[in-house]
Amino acid sequence: MHVHDWPHSATASAGAVSGNTVTFAHGMLNQIVVIPSKATTEYGFRLTDLNNVVVFEEQARGSMRREVNIPRVGILTWAIFSSSKATESFTILLKGREE
């Protein structure tokens, strides 16, 4: 078993930004960490699978850290969205293991 961190840096312009994880055949996503550049930033975070099924979604203010057990098969797409039109920077860290 290998433990992995999948770090991403992103800048939301006009309230939205998204990206993809790397492809894995087997494994679990165990932790989601999202850190906005401002502690008062309100946003939503969503993960969808290859079939566009939402596997995780949550609204947050400031940093978010969640323990999860989401199967990793193929690519997951992450998205950050907010009603803010300001440009905001985020750090996204997805932690998991490959079996």
Tokens 């950050």, located at residue: 80
7 versus 40: the higher-pLDDT residue is 40
User: Is residue 82 assigned to a domain?
Assistant: yes
Domain count, the chain: 1
Rounded mean pLDDT of the chain?
A: 85
User: Is residue 53 assigned to a domain?
Assistant: no
4 versus 31: the higher-pLDDT residue is 31
Residue 65 belongs to what domain range?
2-48+58-98
Start-to-end CA span in the chain (Å): 5
User: Is residue 89 assigned to a domain?
Assistant: yes
Average pLDDT over residues 7-14: 77
Identify the band that residue 1 occupies on the pLDDT scale cut at 50, 70 and 90: very low
Q: At CA 48, angle to CA 90 and CA 5, rounded to 5?
A: 50
Q: Is the pLDDT of residue 26 over 70?
A: yes
